[in-house]
Structure formats: C-alpha cells, structure tokens
Amino acid sequence: MISQLDQARVTRIIAKIAEDNKMPPSEVRAEMTAAMMMAMNSPNPMVRERWKSFCFDGSTPSLEEFIIWLANLAVKEKNNNKMGKQGAQFH
C-alpha cells in the first residue's frame, strides 16, 4: 500500500508526462501499465528472476506502487554509485 503523498506524486508524474506528450493521463496510465505487464511477463529467464525478487503487496503491483518502487530503487542505486566513487578516491 502506498501513502497518499506517494499517490499524489505519481499522479503529478503521470500528468506531467501526459502534458509533455499532448495526450490524456488515462492513455499514459494505459501505456505504462501495458509496459509494466510486458516486463512482468517477459520470456527472458533473467528478467523473470528479477521480478521474483521485487517485493510488492500483491502478486501484481499497481502502477503507482511500481513507479514508487522504481523511483526508490533509482535513488538507492544512485547513492550506492556515489559511495563507490567516493570510496575509490581514498585508495
């Protein structure tokens, strides 16, 4: 379950994408959901294993849950990369 704040963030993200692409938010949501489902159902064994490692409330995440999860993952990986570069400077 995502917070109301996160829900509002996702709504703003989708609205911005819709505005930038001159399309209705419902179409953006539909395309993003379709892309998420394609990734979830990938025939690639490595992709399927990666999906198994994700932790969501249910077996299929909501689009909002998936976007928030991806955003958090991106921040975590960015921070890990920064730490790795900073550590390398001290060697």
Amino acid type, 72? N
- In contact, 28 and 17? CB cutoff 8 Å: yes
pTM: 0.74
Q: What is the mean pLDDT of the chain?
A: 85
> Where in the sequence is the domain holding 27, given as residue range(s)?
4-89
47 φ, ψ (degrees, to nearest 5):
-65, -40
Q: What is the pLDDT of residues 32-64, one digit of tens each?
A: 999 999 988 899 999 888 887 776 666 788 899
**Three-class secondary structure assignment of the chain:** CCCHHHHHHHHHHHHHHHHHCCCCHHHHHHHHHHHHHHHHCCCCHHHHHHHHHCCCCCCCCCHHHHHHHHHHHHHHHHHHHHHHHHHHHCC
> Domain count of the chain?
1
Owner of token pair 């959901």: 33
